[in-house]
């Protein structure tokens, strides 16, 4: 009976469990055993297994964990960032654990996919990647597992904060996750009708950031009293701490706008938690299915991508929304996304620059 391995690695993302559920259920139908490794690459090196399928009446079925966790956030396999797997010796130990497996599916973000690429290149293990990162910072895919759920959490939080801000005529600077990518800040700011957006890709200095926010408050609260709240979304990648930014803005405006309060809210890991949305469950399931199909057909060192935009070189799958890209291509595009040279990044920043003046109206 053929068998495959699967693991979740790096930061958790809502929808990882939905991907595991699809992989296990479809594999079981085709008589393929699925073994999960706990806690990412560390669990693979240590051989900590958690079967996702079991023998039932001469065939295969999924384990109770798969069905119970499929709709939940996080990852029931656990996740980690493995220092040991970064070394060639660690990857060799991981490869030894996969002897007799048809291949490995890695569900994770940039670091996890980098490890998957090295494992495939150095050891010959067949590997397929599935993008999962709330930051949406993986190249060649328009979205990753967890992005939609994170945006929904941010949207609800901003709506709630706006309620209290309007009640007291306050300004809020809200920091959202995203590491080096400003995508969550960009997308959520438009969705909630924020007055301004601060993201790393703008390349603003600390004084420029303070001036930008101060001008937003001047424009908002210096009108005829009809503006009740000013909301600024700040990406995690903008290095100035939220509390410091608030203090500097208040110092600059103390004489001009007496009585106007500025507050800081860091949403932090709240953004990662919670059950996945329909969108994330659907995308996770279809990406997982495509990864499984590719692996069982002998493909390796690739990632399945959802509706790729402004990138070439993908291989169309049987799912019209999904293409496969080599992991080398994915990692190259990821670097370009983060350093600002990607056409996707330039388009995002360009669109936000066009909206910047309109957001605060």
The reply to whether 325 and 247 lie within a common domain is no
Is residue 351 in some structural domain?
Answer: no
How far is residue 15's CA from residue 20's CA, in Å, rounded to a whole number? 9
How far is residue 100's CA from residue 96's CA, in Å, rounded to a whole number? 9
Q: pLDDT at position 361, please?
A: 47
Q: pLDDT at position 158, please?
A: 98
Q: pLDDT at position 223, please?
A: 63
The reply to whether 293 and 199 lie within a common domain is no
Q: What's the CATH code of the domain at 308?
A: 3.40.50.450
One digit per residue, the tens of pLDDT, for the chain of length 361 reads 799 999 999 999 999 999 999 999 999 999 999 999 999 999 999 999 999 999 998 899 999 999 899 999 999 999 999 999 999 999 999 999 999 999 999 999 999 999 999 999 999 999 999 999 999 999 999 999 999 999 999 999 999 999 999 999 899 999 999 999 999 999 999 999 999 999 998 889 999 999 999 999 998 887 666 788 999 999 999 999 999 999 999 999 988 888 889 999 999 999 999 999 999 999 999 999 999 999 999 999 999 999 999 999 999 999 999 999 999 999 999 999 999 999 998 988 888 877 766 665 4
Last residue of a domain, one of 246, 273, 300: 273
Catalytic, 135? Answer: yes
Is residue 68 in some structural domain?
Answer: yes
Last residue of a domain, one of 225, 245, 273: 273
Give the global pTM.
0.95
- Count of C-beta atoms within a 10 Å radius of residue 212: 17
Which of 135, 148, 280, 301 is catalytic? The answer is: 135
The reply to whether 132 and 280 lie within a common domain is yes
Nearest to 256 by CA among 219, 228, 231, 229: 219
Is residue 140 in some structural domain?
Answer: yes
Domain count, the chain: 2
Crossing angle for the helix pair 278-296 and 147-168, to the nearest 10 degrees: 160
285 lies in which domain range? 3-146+276-338
The reply to whether 161 and 130 lie within a common domain is no
The reply to whether 109 and 213 lie within a common domain is no
């Amino acid at each position: 009976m053929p068998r495959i391995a699967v693991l979740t690695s790096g930061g958790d993302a809502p929808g990882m469990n939905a991907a595991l559920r699809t992989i296990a259920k479809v594999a079981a139908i085709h008589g393929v055993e699925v073994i999960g490794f706990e806690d990412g690459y560390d669990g693979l090196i240590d051989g900590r297994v958690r079967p996702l399928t079991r023998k039932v009446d001469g065939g295969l079925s999924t384990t109770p964990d798969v069905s119970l966790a499929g709709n939940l956030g996080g990852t029931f396999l656990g996740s980690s960032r493995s220092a040991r797997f970064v070394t060639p010796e660690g990857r060799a130990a991981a490869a030894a654990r996969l002897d007799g497996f048809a291949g490995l599916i890695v569900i994770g973000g940039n670091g996890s996919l980098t490890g998957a690429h090295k494992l495939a290149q150095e050891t010959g293990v067949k590997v397929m990647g599935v993008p999962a990162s709330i930051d949406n910072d993986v190249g060649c895919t328009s979205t990753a597992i967890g992005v939609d759920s994170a945006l929904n959490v941010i949207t609800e939080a901003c709506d709630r904060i706006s309620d209290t801000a309007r009640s007291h005529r306050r300004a809020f600077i809200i920091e959202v996750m995203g590491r080096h990518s400003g995508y969550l800040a960009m997308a959520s700011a438009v969705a909630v009708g924020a007055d301004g957006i601060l993201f790393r890709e703008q390349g603003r200095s600390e004084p420029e950031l303070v001036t930008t926010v101060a001008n937003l408050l001047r424009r908002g609260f210096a009108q005829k009293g009809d503006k009740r709240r000013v909301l600024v979304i700040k990406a995690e990648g903008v290095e100035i701490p939220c509390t410091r930014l608030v203090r500097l803005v208040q110092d600059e405006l103390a004489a001009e706008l007496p009585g106007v309060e500025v507050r800081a809210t860091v949403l932090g890991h709240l953004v990662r938690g919670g059950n996945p949305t329909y969108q994330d469950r659907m995308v996770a399931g279809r990406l997982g299915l495509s990864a499984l199909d590719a692996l069982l057909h002998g493909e390796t060192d690739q990632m399945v991508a959802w509706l790729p935009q402004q990138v070439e070189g993908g291989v169309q799958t049987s799912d019209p929304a999904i293409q496969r890209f080599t992991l080398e291509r994915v990692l190259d595009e990821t670097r370009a996304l983060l350093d600002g040279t990607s056409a996707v990044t330039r388009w995002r920043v360009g669109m936000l620059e066009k909206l910047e003046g309109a957001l605060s109206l």
